[in-house]
Structure 1
């Protein structure tokens, strides 16, 4: 899906109950990794309208939603203002085309975004540059599928991912305490009948020091 299509879909994006449930489950899986914290600097890349962002804001002293769609960010800004959440910020950026912003975050997440990204290793590497020492990077997306998850595959660059390949990518970036788990399961109709799809949460931590 192109930026213009995301812009067009922004105003009704949250009207899909399955999408809202998916975001809640992904956020819950992330929260389990940082239980008890309320003082984190958090970045949500590919945040869209902030479904995951706002589920995580309780962990954060400051949370920044980054997206390449102005309309999606406008929806997040509206919701944050309506809820009086001054610690929620937004940033218009596309890490496929520009460097990561100079943020040092305790938690960097991206949820259901990477399958729209052509250069996954490049974007994940840029996400990792935003980690403060000890910071956690969390990637949530579809397990490998046959292309039937989306009714329209326009803008879909990958039909899911192999968890082990992503773990190896994080290892090459120097992250430790690697993990992989299932964050969400959904049954959807496909041309060949109903099928169950799974959404993983894969992640790792930047060491406290390079020594």
Structure 2
């Protein structure tokens, strides 16, 4: 992940468009957390916490992990301002290291597209989850109109499902849940949610 890019945009990250999209995503993720009050969740690539902070009350402990110190600093300020008790933050990049922590749920929202080696990061998530843990991926459907040398142009859901199975996940369900105008590199795009069980 290009840390310097995210370090540079951290302070301007919470745009109206990003907040609107985060609200749609948070609403969808909350449906997966109905029985998660005793669970530990990692929001990986948490950014400024636009999604994770909205769902923190649905779990016992929410761990925010991002490779950008500036992003994590913004989350820490939000946690302090909202007096949240059940949260922890970490600056870490799972493509280079893993933390000595385990979780019941890992949320990866609009992060996978920034990671060049998809299989490697999915293996790291698999290792980090407890048995019967759940990986929740939110990302864009493959989009032929998107090209960027450092970003995947979305994901073909059948290929993603195959990849998740190959790293050990027992089952995966994938469904589209939102189509928006100019939400992916200024292109119209569809968001999907993929839920995989370890």
User: Which TM-score applies when normalising by structure 1?
Assistant: 0.86
**1:37-48 correspondence runs (5 A):** 37-48=36-47
Tell me how far apart the structure 2 counterparts of residues 190 and 57 of structure 1 sit (CA, whole Å): 26
Residues 2-48 of structure 1: per-residue CA shift (max 9 Å, x gap): 2112111111211x222112222222222212314322100011111
Equivalent residue of 1:51, what SS? Answer: coil
Q: Indicate the residue corresponding to 1:74 in structure 2.
A: 73
Q: Indicate the residue corresponding to 2:127 in structure 1.
A: 129
CA offset at residue 189 of structure 1? 8.4
Change in CA separation of 1:189 and 1:64 when aligned onto 2, cut-off 3 Å: closer
Tell me how far apart the structure 2 counterparts of residues 87 and 104 of structure 1 sit (CA, whole Å): 16
Q: Indicate the residue corresponding to 2:153 in structure 1.
A: 159
Q: Indicate the residue corresponding to 1:199 in structure 2.
A: 191
Change in CA separation of 1:97 and 1:38 when aligned onto 2, cut-off 3 Å: same
Tell me how far apart the structure 2 counterparts of residues 89 and 3 of structure 1 sit (CA, whole Å): 21
Tell me how far apart the structure 1 counterparts of residues 191 and 66 of structure 2 sit (CA, whole Å): 21
Q: Indicate the residue corresponding to 1:209 in structure 2.
A: none
Equivalent residue of 2:101, what SS? Answer: coil
Alignment: residue pair count: 198
**1:8-157 correspondence runs (5 A):** 8-14=8-14, 16-98=15-97, 100-148=98-146, 153=148, 156-157=150-151
Structure 2 residue ranges without an equivalent (≥5): none
Structure 1 residue ranges without an equivalent (≥5): 207-211
CA offset at residue 141 of structure 1? 1.1
Give the root-mean-square deviation of aligned CA atoms. 2.2
Contact conserved, 1:170 with 1:203, CA < 8 A, in 2?
no
Change in CA separation of 1:170 and 1:148 when aligned onto 2, cut-off 3 Å: closer
